[in-house]
Structure 1
Amino acid sequence: MATFTHIFSADDRVKIAKNGITVAKVSWRKINGVFLSPVTGNYYYTHQWKRELKRWQNVPKLAVRVRLHDDEKVFVGKYNEEHIEVSASEAIKIALNHKAPGGLEVILPRSVKPKELMQFYKPNENVGWRYRPDSNSRKPCWCFYCQRGEPYSSKRRKEYEADDS
């Protein structure tokens, strides 16, 4: 059985425990499904999306372990690149053997049933990356081009422009 982690808003804990995780369908996404991270020996990469998700919705986050059959079909790939369809066990092997697993995501193209949920827990606060996987080593650029439509971008741009003058 392959094990994955799903990060979600703490407000949804009771609903998810009762009904499972449902697929949010949006027209602009190529593949709709439940977003998961493979559970590997590396805590950082297993929970890498926590900080980026907090940027968009600043509420406490929880995580749940999801157990899938090894032959379950999922899509795996970097967050802004093409995804490939593989089995759940192959997705974990890809994550373990990947040279740079930052930004790697697994998409399950169906809802997760409550019986597939294993354990709810609160991940460490300061885990993950923001903006992009390699961003921890440098400050973000707050110019208009780089931060169009990002949360808090107008406030940050004003600070950025004040520092330049």
Structure 2
Amino acid sequence: MTLFTHLSPADDIRSIRRAGIRARSRDHEGRAGVFCLPVMPSYQITHQWGRELHRRGGRRTMVAVDFRLPDDEPVLVGRYNHRHIERTSAEAAALIAGCEDARGYEVFVPRAIGAREIHRVRGVNRVTGWRYMPNAHGRFPCPCCLARGEYGSAKIRKKAESRGY
């Protein structure tokens, strides 16, 4: 059994403990499921999405929900902005663990996670991770990738227009 972690707002803890993690996220093809990462020796890689989710979602406190999947369960794995490939959960964990730079990778489980599969719920450090994309420090964010109404998006689009983007 492979151990994975899913980052969720702390407001959802009671619901998650009672009913599990709902399949409310969508992958690139529109399938419902849950985004997660395998628990790795590196805290930063395991919780790399924390800072981006905190800033984009506007939630103050995030929690990590650790759950186990059978090693032969099919999942999708890949970088967040590339096409994902289907692998078993054990192969997906090994693929990410074997990467020289695993930042930006994600695993998509195309189903809900039941309450019985949850191993534990714990708090996470919210400053861990990256913003916009890995290695984005010092680079201007892409204005077309930001949703309208998102915090700071109007300022970024205005600055991009003045630069001629």
TM range (shorter): 0.7 to 0.9
CA drift of 1:119 comes to 1.1
Tell me, what secondary structure is at the counterpart of 2:127? coil
CA distance, structure 1, for counterparts of residue 37 and residue 30 of structure 2: 18
Say which SS state the counterpart of residue 119 (structure 2) adopts: strand
Deviation at 1:57, TM superposition (A): 1.4
* Structure 2 Cα separation of the partners of residues 75 and 34 of structure 1: 10
Partner of residue 69, structure 1: 70
Identity %, equivalent residues: 37
Normalising by structure 1, what TM-score? Answer: 0.86
Equivalence for 1:107? 108
Superposition RMSD on alpha carbons, in Å? 2.4
In structure 2, do the counterparts of structure 1 residues 145 and 111 end up closer, same or farther at CA, with 3 Å as the change threshold? Answer: closer
Q: Provide structure 1 residue ranges, at least 5 long, that are not aligned to the other structure.
A: none
In structure 2, give the amino acid aligned to 1:63.
A
Q: Deviations over 1:10-54 (max 9, x none)?
A: 100000000001111659744431001111111111000111111
Asked if the contact 2:25–2:35 (Cα under 8 Å) also holds between the matched residues in 1, the reply is no
Give the Cα separation in 2 of the matches to 1:27 and 1:76. 11
CA contact (8 A) 2:27 2:33 kept: no
Report the counterpart of residue 48 of structure 2 in structure 1: 48
Residues 98-137 of structure 1 mapped to structure 2, 5 A cutoff: 98-135=99-136, 137=137
Structure 1 pair 93–154 and aligned structure 2 pair: CA distance change class (3 A): same
Report how many residues are paired: 160
Give TM-score scaled by structure 2 length. 0.86
For structure 2, the residue ranges without an aligned partner over 5 or more in a row are none
